[in-house]
Structure 1
Amino acid sequence: MSDAILQARGLTKTFAGFTAVENVDLDVVCGSIHALIGPNGAGKTTVFNLLTRFITPTAGSIVYDGTDITRAKPTAIARQGMVRSFQISAIFGHLSVLDNVRVALQRHQGKAYHFWRSEKMLDSLTDRAMALLDEVGLAEFADTLGVELAYGRKRALEIATTLALDPRLMLLDEPTQGMSAEDVGKVTELIRQVAADRTILMVEHNLQVVSRLADTITVLNRGEILAEGPYETVSRDPAVMEAYMGTADA
């Protein structure tokens, strides 16, 4: 597809004779929200790790924004604007919310991560950092230590630090995992908001979130694509219903 920002062809990963992902073709359309779903052990996170090059595919190819990144390093991919989050919230708990974002902005500006930067240098990043915090609804918590945030707000902070890297494509791994219903609603709306001018590929277990957000859904089962399309289509697919829709956990 010519309008795809990310394409995988024949993506396969074998571990010691066990095939975790087999012959996966994927097209993530620019400007869309694309969800990967499937039962436990379906290969969702493995696909994420392959696409972001945290693990090397056994076979297949990955093209991002017209460039083959099948053998690229994760850091090189991030510099090209493809940035991911993880299932476990990754923030600096001993730093303030504001400083978490300012640290991320340092990296985007080509500076190394240093925690002894002068106040003058850090202050130059404050306006942009506060704008990002406002975008994710955390401006009032700027002086709060990361460790003191409620879980849902930690995930929002993680999204802010991801946005600080100015991504074109955001990969979100289980963004609502472990959240209360209230936090799920807030993060769902946050994802919708930040997707306004970005592309998002997400692994998500909550079907309500997927139905509200995703333009396209790819259903994995046992490492292979079982179905693909809008929610209305895949939710009625008999094979999907048997493998996934009747389970409580994706």
Structure 2
Amino acid sequence: MPYNDYILETRQLVKEFRGFVAVDHVDLRVRRGQIHALIGPNGAGKTTVFNLLTKFLAPTGGSIVFDGRDITASGPAAVARQGMVRSFQISAVFPQLSVLENVRVALQRKLGTTFRFWRSERSLHGLHARAMELLATVELSPHAQRPAAELPYGRKRALEIATTLAADPALLLLDEPTQGMGHEDIDHVTALIAKVAADRTVLMVEHNMGVVERIAHTISVLQRGKVIAEGPYAQVSTDPQVLEAYMGTEHAALPGTRHA
């Protein structure tokens, strides 16, 4: 298969709901090895695009190409197996399991042995070692034996990133990874995203413009289901259409930026 600089492309992607066009002929290209942010005001269609990419919704029109393969007609499980894995806005961990056990369950899922909890501890040793590697990646090693329910919210999100990484994704989709966090947790999770993106591609929906400014290489801005601007932060943050979409005037500044 010929190498393509873009790991993900949508071509004229459309999603209609009973005549309402939620995604309107979106062309999106995500370059390998980058952090690509999808931003826009509430109701712009960002989550709908994510649902189309991960096949929780079927498109009304257009196509989706991932890693050189047309996945428009594929199901969610097939897309995940091919290497596109998503986390969600709400942290999803098993609260009564330990931090280590959460990651090990995610590793078992990848091996197709998720529900074989009767397997001996010795047989799971390989999973244990890999789970500890992933916890080190997200700086949770000291909390390995702690029940997940006891983790502060920001560290729960870090644990979710670790469980997502257990699937060894080529493309990691993060849906509002810093939502509901205080400044310290936002800084911590932002640094983790940059760290895990060192050897994979990240596409994220994010409302916090400070986060986007710090780590996104490319930004696509949606409004009413259409891409109205795309490029680096310095470019899109001064685009009159973008400022109008967010603030109602082209002479404003994006909210939440460090240079507003």
Name the CA distance, whole Å, in 1 between partners of 2:9 and 2:149.
Answer: 37
Structure 1 unpaired stretches of 5+ = none
| Residue in 2 that maps onto 1:103 | 105
Structure 2 residue corresponding to 1:240, chosen from 230, 239, 242: 242
Q: Provide the alpha-carbon RMSD of the alignment.
A: 1.4
1:190-225 Cα offsets, whole Å, 9 max, x none, are: 000000000000000000000011110000001111
Name the CA distance, whole Å, in 1 between partners of 2:184 and 2:198.
Answer: 22
**Quick check: 1:11–1:24 contact (8 Å CA) kept in 2?**
yes
The size of the alignment, in residue pairs, is 249
Deviates more, 1:220-229 or 1:113-122: 113-122
**Quick check: 1:39–1:247 contact (8 Å CA) kept in 2?**
no
Name the CA distance, whole Å, in 1 between partners of 2:132 and 2:46.
Answer: 34
Structure 2 unpaired stretches of 5+ = 248-252
Output the amino acid matched with 1:202.
M
1:137-186 Cα offsets, whole Å, 9 max, x none, are: 00000011111110000000000001111111000000000000000000
**Quick check: 2:209–2:255 contact (8 Å CA) kept in 1?**
no
**Quick check: 1:235–1:241 contact (8 Å CA) kept in 2?**
yes
* Map 1:1-250 → 2, pairs under 5 A: 2-244=4-246, 248=255
Cα 1:230–1:247 shift into 2, 3 Å: closer
1:89-114 Cα offsets, whole Å, 9 max, x none, are: 11111111000000111122232333
Name the CA distance, whole Å, in 2 between partners of 1:66 and 1:95.
Answer: 38
1:14-54 Cα offsets, whole Å, 9 max, x none, are: 01111111100000001011000000000000000001111
SS in 2 for 1:19: strand
**Quick check: 2:33–2:197 contact (8 Å CA) kept in 1?**
yes
Name the CA distance, whole Å, in 2 between partners of 1:192 and 1:40.
Answer: 25
Output the amino acid matched with 1:137.
E
TM-score, normalisation: structure 2 = 0.93
TM-score, normalisation: structure 1 = 0.96
SS in 1 for 2:181: coil
SS in 1 for 2:63: strand
Name the CA distance, whole Å, in 2 between partners of 1:92 and 1:206.
Answer: 27
**Quick check: 1:12–1:57 contact (8 Å CA) kept in 2?**
yes
**Quick check: 2:221–2:229 contact (8 Å CA) kept in 1?**
yes
SS in 1 for 2:12: strand
Name the CA distance, whole Å, in 2 between partners of 1:184 and 1:75.
Answer: 30
Name the CA distance, whole Å, in 2 between partners of 1:25 and 1:2.
Answer: 16
Output the amino acid matched with 1:222.
R
Superposition deviation, residue 117 in structure 1: 3.1
**Which 4+ stretches in 1 moved above 6 angstroms?**
none
Output the amino acid matched with 1:23.
H
